[in-house]
A and B are shown apart, each in its own frame.
Chain A
Amino acid sequence: MMELIPLIIWLIQDLLYIVVFPGLVTILVLAIVIIWLERKIAAKVQMRFGPLWVSKRIGGALQSVADLLRFSFQEFIVPEKSDRWAFIVAPGLMFAFSMISLIFIPVGPYYSYLFPSYYTILFSVGMIIITPIFAILVGWSSDNKFSFIGALREAFLLISYEVPFLLSVASMIVLYRTFNYVDAVAYQFRGLPGLVLNPLAALTLLIVMIRTTGRFPFDITEADSELVMGLFTEYSALFFGIGMATPYVELYAFSLIFSLLFLGGWWPAPLYAHGPIMGLIIPGIVVVVKAFIVMALLVFLRAVYPRYRLDQAIRSGWSYVLLLSVLSVLLSFGEVMLLR
């Protein structure tokens, strides 16, 4: 019986990790806040009010909650000619894999005691890369031309932007000489943050983040003036909500990766600390705040940019962005040679 107590404590800490940082509760709150912020920023820049009707006193901040409630009580309709199983399962898998990637992203030094793994960067990146495959499945199973065109566009963009993404992450792996986020953060504690060490990789990762999460210049897969809602045209009720929330979860995961690889991780907090408070809560808050700033920067782009055409996006993917990522790998090799 006495041997079980540490195990139970361990389980509770695991649950705390999964549920609070960087897990479900934070995602839910951040998704609601960031959707509201996106609409508010776009409204401010475009000379409008933005959401204001629900909870007027705090600037319509509860609008997203109201939308979520509305989604929850709507009827879910499966189209007659759709591929029924894929139609129901694919959005869930898409959401799940973007969430699973969060498990491999540490938000504090305490993480390495909970899930000791040396290959966290690879795992998280691999899980995020899987999600567009389910996006294509969503488009295929809907039996709707808009969804299908959206899926084709997603496939084209997936191919042209995955290479720069992997190269930019690989350049940071080369630079830090590790596959582990905690060691990567430790490297940045010893010297400069990755943003200064390799700005090209940071720029590439930012562009790929915008592309993968469908933020504005690359809002091509769900271009609402051309393809009603893109992939999620046929969806209703909570499944539509999932489809709307998945890009934000991906955005959150990408922002966490960005802040760990380029912004020094939990920099002002101590590098190594024991216990859940100094080791998890405080570094977690620091990382999430950094990630939130990155997210706010990216949703701001909605207010500024028009949408790229598909061919423009693919061309820039295979030219500028690929060139940037190759240069970033070369820069990393050069720095490793010099610093050694």
Chain B
Amino acid sequence: MSEVRKPRDPVTGHIKALAKGFKYLIEPNRMTLDYPAETMKLPPNYRGFFTVDDVKCIGCSMCEMVCPPEAITMVPRIVGSGGKTLPAESAPQDQKAAKRTKRPVVNWGKCIFCYFCVDVCPVDAFRPTGVHDVAFYTDREYRPTYEEYLNPPEDPYKSSKKVVSKADKKRGVSYEPAP
């Protein structure tokens, strides 16, 4: 209860702090990446942008049901030749025989990259692309059409140096070129 606090020494602490800062200034101990020029080489199963195989997908809507942020919408399509689908509007009006189906489209602004859709898919139609960090300039680009969704965004850091992180006793973490 009656814990007596020592009077604070107004000088020593300041000198110690300044000396430590000066030490770090002279021998920099950098831990961060020079980001756009160097990027981390990510493990193969790291969740990123994914696309769907147009032929494999059976349009069962399981992914839409399981999606926690409701980022997936099913768009109406009709089955064309060779299993590929065509836009629903392209079906001739009188042709009742056109086989109707659905395909998923992801809203990248809502998607949380949980990969529940990939796990739940009964035919393994979703395919990760290995692209992880893309920024969009407009709101429109976050909501691709189905044709745009089939060609997911390209990796903007293809030419950057890939590095992997390594535990380092002295610095905490260090980076070395990816094998």
Contact = CB atoms under 8 A, between A and B. Distances in A.
Interface of A: 41, 44-49, 52-53, 300-301, 303-305, 320
B12 interface: no
Contact of A47 (B28, B34, B36): B28
Interface of B: 10, 17-18, 20-22, 24-25, 28-32, 34, 36
A46 B30 CA distance: 8
Contact of A44 (B10, B20, B24, B36): B24
A96 B135 CA distance: 42
Contacts of A47: 24, 28-32
Contact of B17 (A52, A305, A320): A305
Contacts of B34: 49, 52
Contacts of B28: 44, 47
Contacts of B29: 47
B30 A49 contact: yes
B10 A41 contact: no
B32 A49 contact: yes
A300 B21 contact: yes
B30 to A, nearest CB: 5
Nearest to B11: A320
A300 B24 CA distance: 11
Contacts of A48: 30-32
A249 B36 CA distance: 34
Given A304-B18, A305-B17, A41 B25 contact: yes
A93 to B, nearest CB: 35
B8 to A, nearest CB: 10
10 contacts: A44-B28, A45-B25, A47-B28, A47-B30, A48-B30, A53-B36, A300-B22, A304-B20, A304-B21, A305-B17
B135 to A, nearest CB: 15
Nearest to A306: B17
A44 B25 contact: yes
Contact of A303 (B10, B21, B30): B21
Nearest to B26: A44
Nearest to A304: B21
B25 A300 contact: yes
Nearest to A44: B28
- Between A47, A53, A301, the greatest number of chain B beta carbons within 10 A of the residue's beta carbon is seen for A47
- Top 6 A-B pairs, shortest CB-CB distance: A304-B21, A47-B31, A45-B24, A44-B28, A304-B17, A48-B32
B66 to A, nearest CB: 40
A44 B26 CA distance: 9
Nearest to A320: B10
Nearest to B10: A320
Contacts of A46: 24
A49 B34 CA distance: 7
A47 B22 CA distance: 13
Contacts of A300: 21-22, 25
A47 B30 CA distance: 4
- Between B18, B21, B36, the greatest number of chain A beta carbons within 10 A of the residue's beta carbon is seen for B21
A243 B34 CA distance: 31
A53 B35 CA distance: 10
B169 to A, nearest CB: 15
A301 B29 CA distance: 18
Contacts of B30: 44, 47-49
Given A47-B32, A300-B21, A304-B18, 19 more contacts: A41-B25, A44-B24, A44-B25, A45-B24, A45-B25, A47-B30, A47-B31, A48-B30, A48-B31, A49-B30, A49-B32, A49-B34, A52-B34, A300-B22, A300-B25, A303-B21, A303-B25, A304-B21, A305-B17
